[in-house]
Structure 1
């Protein structure tokens, strides 16, 4: 995994096991991918993990974690990425906050031209003509911060929308904050009468940590 993010290397990545089925979703689940057996085993103990096989391309440990929510500690606003992005073969061609361009765009700060209407915005993303959510967190697990930093990334609109206000709260704290990654389920009936179940991630509850609290967590 060994990805460098600012201060140090990441020890793994957690993603939402987002799915769509014709029946009610069973256990809540996340996927952990890490090169560290110690991290895999420790996180599995915390969140009822089960091995789901090796990831391609190396000695990676993959665990399915069964938990509705995971409490995490984000060190600063720099560890929260909340944007809409569009990539093509040449790389990133659009990055914005829905109204203005964001770095590394040359037109940073200028109007991006995205629709104000959320339905139009999502339609443009589905067609490939507009950007889609690109949300990313770098964090320590509140239950085991000594393991090091992990990342979470998702293109789910629900996560993007829940992170929008929380990202500003993290900026205002000016320091470490605790939040919770949560899996939600939504059930819909299709026109054909099929009962479809969706699972998707959201972020909730930013709680500011004092310097003393952060020191205790990170030294635990």
Structure 2
């Protein structure tokens, strides 16, 4: 797939004091100041409505890295690279839970999901991108991609950041943030 110029990207984290810091609101990254100014108020929130323009708006990939670089790049079924292996069966298990166990043990690839979209309130501004390596986001995006294949035209979706609270065995409450996408 050819490289595409995006108006910007959405993130829900940043680096502070050289450490990753999760955010509970979207962060817009764009080289265009006019775009940042126009969309700044829309994105000062944990939820933004986006328009997906068909099934190609959702790209589901699996990638495994080591010290030398990418050692496995597929869509979960067939290799996407290197060129000499494109289209060959990759050997990944069909079930996401099995893939997750393989990745956790260092023996398999992890999700690399890319959603390209237009902000629903300002669709004329351009196409943006959001990337995630979350297993939960992979499941949601795969389901959404299947639905997009059945619909014609743009699909309105909610892209949000959800706080998830977990209690540790010591009783401490831990909060982490995860991206969520749902058809509106």
Q: Normalising to structure 2: TM-score of the pair?
A: 0.81
How many Å apart are 1:108 and its aligned residue?
2.5
**Aligned partner (choices 25, 34, 59) of residue 30 of structure 2:** 34
**Aligned partner (choices 170, 173, 176) of residue 148 of structure 2:** 170
Q: Is the 8 A contact 2:100 2:110 kept in 1?
A: yes
**Aligned partner (choices 40, 44, 47) of residue 44 of structure 1:** 40
Runs of 4+ in 1 over 6 A off after TM superposition: none
How many Å apart are 1:142 and its aligned residue?
0.3
Aligned residues: 173
**Aligned partner (choices 47, 54, 59) of residue 69 of structure 1:** 47
How many Å apart are 1:85 and its aligned residue?
2.1
Q: Normalising to structure 1: TM-score of the pair?
A: 0.69
**Aligned partner (choices 109, 119, 134) of residue 112 of structure 2:** 134
Q: CA RMSD in A?
A: 2.6
Q: Supply the distance in 2 between the matched residues of 1:109 and 1:173 (Cα, whole angstroms).
A: 29
Q: Is 2:151 aligned against 1:155? A: no
Q: Is the 8 A contact 1:96 1:112 kept in 2?
A: no
Structure 2 runs not aligned, ≥5 long: 15-22
| Per-residue deviation, residues 82-122 of structure 1 (Å, max 9, x unmatched) | 2322234243523133xx2243462636362337361x432
Q: Is 2:2 aligned against 1:12? A: no
Q: Supply the distance in 2 between the matched residues of 1:92 and 1:30 (Cα, whole angstroms).
A: 32
Structure 1 runs not aligned, ≥5 long: 19-26, 49-66, 207-220
Distance 1:164 1:37, change over 3 A: same
